[in-house]
Each structure stands twice: as structure tokens, then as C-alpha cells.
Amino acid sequence: MGAFKETKLPADAPAAQKALGWIDDRFPLTKLWNDQWGRYYAPKSFNYWYIFGSLAMFVLVLQIVTGIFLTMHYKPDANLAFNSVEYIMREVPWGWLVRYMHSTGASAFFIVVYLHMTRALLYGSYRKPRELIWLFGFAIFLCLMAEAFFGYLLPWGQMSYWGAQVIVNLFGAIPLIGPDLSLWIRGDYVVSDATLNRFFAFHVIAIPLVLLGLVAAHLIALHEVGSSNPDGIEVKENMGPDGYPVDSIPSHPYYTVHDLFGVSVFLLIFSAVVFFAPEMGGYFLEYNNFLPGDPLKTPLHIAPTWYFTPFYSVLRATTADFMWVLMAAVAAYVCFLWLKSKLSFVTKVIIAVIAIVAIIGMLPQVLDAKFWGVVFFGGSVMILAFLPWLDHSPVKSMRYRPSWHKYLFALLAVAFVALGYLGTQAPSVIGTIVSQVATLYYFAFFLLMPWWSTMGTFKKVPDRVVFHAH
């Protein structure tokens, strides 16, 4: 152990500098600031797609702060929860504003995160050496989904109650353990006070702690390997005499101002929604949720909030008739793997055996479509985690891919939005067919990516980043 050394400052140094020096001698405050932002060098070619990471952090803080104020007045009791929310809205000073900020913030969080993930897709931000950053980000996305699901029940409105009932019942479709798993999640045979209490504990304490840890890991991993850029070039491969990449600039003040502008625009839109359209036509706050939860009265159309509906549509699209199409798709994919894949013979045999077992399981006499709906529902989320290993493109950025690659990504966006919209609507014949086509394209996009991502004529990637002032 070395002796304690205190930083010597001039006697006439400002009091603030002396106070900061005293702290730095005992805690690396300045070092942390410089490492994580102040002297963190980022590529100089960032565009406005790169504001969504800091925006996500801003919305996370907003949700935590507003959530704390809501818990001061909320009662996690089945008989009191709905009235406690009404009390917050009507009696607590500015309670309506805090509640609307929190409910709008939930939707804003997912909008920002979906755009953040879109930027990663456009510029290959999940590619080597950033695979772990992507996995941490994916884990954050899963935590957000869990956090939103657990928080959705807390107002104890009609849609909250029945939405939780339907989603928890989905776990009952799992063979053997399903009924017991649903019972364990609910804590009762129906959604009740026990369910509300455990959901409250997860929403307020457990998930936020995990979420904060994952955000810290995401940022540490990012700052270890460095940020990506719109050209997909590793700026650390071209270092200057000062030890920093020649195509990078300090995050502060350059990207501080950049991100503050993004936050200002976000707050303008966010405020407009909070003050003028907090329900957003029933998408952000469903009209049925302004009625107390009633176990004896089922809403005409039960659907989760919009940010879950793309994946919920995959579940709903998996009908008994559609299973025959899925069986054919699985068989065709395995044949394609045998003909085109460079996998070893043993690996191909294992995949073929798994596929045969799955196809047998898809027969109506073995496992019903509801079970496979849950499987594809989960698969549509989990497949995103494997993106770094599915994309074999020789370039990272969309800028240098063949033009037709852009159309495939655009079709993925259209399919995702279509699934999201159809999930909010009541089931219909046409809607089901469209969602089935969109589901097939969604899975085909990722499962065939190792092949189509290498096809076409790629543009030459420049040696240094291309900077355009904006």
C-alpha cells in the first residue's frame, strides 16, 4: 500500500477547484468523467441516428424519477390500486402530469430503443468487435419488455387486468410445466392481489436494478472498443501522434451539444404528447384502462400495448392452418442448409434430426398451434440476439452494400410496422393472412441472412471516415 498523496493546488485556486481536488484524491470523479465522456474520443462523422443512445439514457432517468413520485401515492392492493391512480390524477398536485409523463415515457422509451436498434442495423454496429455491446443491448431490451409488462398491470384497469390474464395464460401452453408455471407467475389461480404485489415488486425494485447494471455494462463495453460510425470503419486503426484516432473528436463539448439538441427536440415532441394527446388515440393509454378491472366482464378486444404487438401478431398468426405452411418452410430451410451451408456433416445431421422432431411436433395430433405460437413469439424476439453471427457481409455499413440490400431492410421495417399495427386490431381474415406473410418474411430475413448478406456487388469502403457537415 502506497502512502496517501494529496494534490497540491495554488493557495489562490478557486474554492470549486479545491473541492474537486479534494474529492479526486479520494474518489476518481474527474477520471470517470474523462474516461466515459469528457475525453472519450468518438468518430467525427456521427449523424443524428446517433442521438438515440443518449436519448434512451435520458428517458430512463425520466422514468425512474416519475416512477419514484408515483410510488409515493400508489397502493399495490387489488381493492385500492385503481382508486389510488385516480387519486394521483385528480387530487395530488401535478399528479396528472407525473402520471402522464410516466405513461408517455414508457412508449417514448420503446420508440427511442427501436430507433437505436434500427441505427445498429443500418450501420452494422453489432459486428465485430461490438458483439458484446449488442448482447448487452439485447438484454436491456428484454428487461424493458419485462418492466413494461409488470408495470402494465399496476393501474388495475380493464385492459391491464385482462392483458395480464392473457399473457400469463400463454405460459400455460408449454407442455408439462405450463400450468404450474402460470400459477407460479400469478401467485394464484387467477390474476389477483398476489399477482399485483409481485408485479409491483418486480416493476419497482428487481427489474430496474438489473436494468441499471446492464446499462452500465453496455456503456463500459462501448467505451472499451469504441463507437461505430456511419461508414463502418474502425477509427482506432488510424491513430494520431497524440495517441487518439485521427478521425475522432472529444465527446465533450462536441457531442454534448449534439445530444442536447436531440434532447431539446425530443422534449418538444414529448411535451406536445403529454399535454395534448397523452392517450395517443388509445395506443399509449387504452380507453378500457380508464375503467376498473372487472374479472366478470371481458373487453371485446384484448391486446397488449403497441410496443409488444409486432411479436404478439406473430403469436396470433400461428393458426392451425398456418402450421402446414410452417412445416413446409422448416423442411425447405433444412434442405437449403444441406445444399448451401458449409457446416460439418455431423452438424447438418443434428439440425436435420431437430427439424424432423419439430415437424412431427407441429402435427395437430401432437402439439396444438397455441404452443407453437408461443414458441414463434419467443423466437421472434430471441433471434435478434444472434444478429452479429448471422450477418456475413464483407462491409458493415449500409452505405457500401448493394442497393437491393436496402430494399430488404426496408421490407423488414414494413413487415415489422404491419405486424405492430395488426396486433392492435381485432382479428380478421385479411389481417391474419397479412400477418402470416409478414411473419414468414421476418424470420426469412434473419435465417437467410448468412447467404443474402454476402451476395451482390459491394462498394469500396474508404480508408478514412467520410464527414458531411449537418
Query: What is the C-alpha to C-alpha distance for residues 175 and 193, in angstroms, rounded to an integer?
Result: 27
Other CB atoms within 10 Å distance of the CB of residue 330: 16
Cα 1 to Cα 4, 7, 23, distances in angstroms:
9, 18, 20
By the 8 A CB rule, do 114 and 148 touch?
no
Contact residues for 194 (Cβ-Cβ < 8 A; gap 6+): 186, 187, 188
Contact residues for 32 (Cβ-Cβ < 8 A; gap 6+): none
DSSP character at residue 73: T
Q: Is there a binding annotation on residue 258?
A: no
- Between 429-447 and 369-382, two packed helices, what is the crossing angle to 10 degrees? 50
Query: What is the C-alpha to C-alpha distance for residues 374 and 34, in angstroms, rounded to an integer?
Result: 46
DSSP track, 131-182: HHHHHHHHHHHHHHHHHHHHHHHTT-BHHHHHHHHHHHHHGGGSTTTHHHHH
Q: Is there a binding annotation on residue 203?
A: yes
Task: Mark residue 303 as left, alpha or beta (left: phi above 0; alpha: psi -120 to 50; beta: remaining).
Answer: beta
Note the maximum CA span of the chain.
86
Residue 74: strand, helix, or coil: coil
In sequence order, the β-bridge partners of residue 304 are: none
Query: What is the C-alpha to C-alpha distance for residues 176 and 136, in angstroms, rounded to an integer?
Result: 32
* C-alpha cell read off for 356: 424432423
Query: What is the C-alpha to C-alpha distance for residues 337 and 348, in angstroms, rounded to an integer?
Result: 8
Q: Is there a binding annotation on residue 218?
A: yes
Q: Is there a binding annotation on residue 102?
A: yes
By the 8 A CB rule, do 140 and 214 touch?
yes
Cα 58 to Cα 53, 109, 285, 350, 383, distances in angstroms:
9, 9, 22, 46, 28
Cis amide bond preceding 10, omega within 30: no
Feature table: binding site for heme b:
102, 116, 203, 218
Feature table: binding site for a ubiquinone:
223
Feature table: binding site:
102, 116, 203, 218, 223
